[in-house]
Amino acid sequence: MLLCRHGATAANEMRPYILQGCEMNGPLTAIGETQARSLAEALSGFRVAGVYASPLQRAHQTAEFIAKSHQLKVETDVNLRECSVGRWEGLDWETIRTKDTEAHDHFFADPATNPHPGGESYSDVLHRAEPTLKQLAERHQGENIVVVAHNMLNRVILTPLLGLPLRLARQVKQANCCINVIEWTTDRAELITLNSVLHLD
């Protein structure tokens, strides 16, 4: 399984960084489209049996570049959508820390179990996304598939594969249009490659 993050959006390019959860649904920027084309080119040498994506525009648009190079259609699954960040959607961390201090501190005490206010915890995301990825892996045993998802969702999936507690998921970096390679078997998943961006240089 080639688990990728979508290309850059306007929100990704903003500084300070703002949270882009599952409510913001903007398209790729020109930079994001360039990244997506580079990603598609990097994956063109693989024999790909299926291309799957979050239904959010930024992920689906990225996946379309990949699918086109393999003469495939993108299949979407709502369980691959980004983590819901609730009322923090579109805000930067400093604003959240200073204006929603109690909720900020509660969330960071254990983000694995404490949800974003009005949104999801890391465990919530893991519990909906991991079974979906396992089902896709089982459907395509012995085949390569591409899954295009999101920053936080990818981190939540990858953190346990690194042997880290889920509360540390934010420490696992996921660049726009990065590639993670996961080898799934019937009883386990093994991370082979993490956050590869060599194709973007």
* Binding-site positions for substrate: 5-12, 58
**Active site residue ranges:** 6, 82
Q: And the tokens for 109?
A: 């005490």
Output the CA torsion 165→166→171→176 (10° steps).
140
Residue 50 host element (H or E): strand 48-53
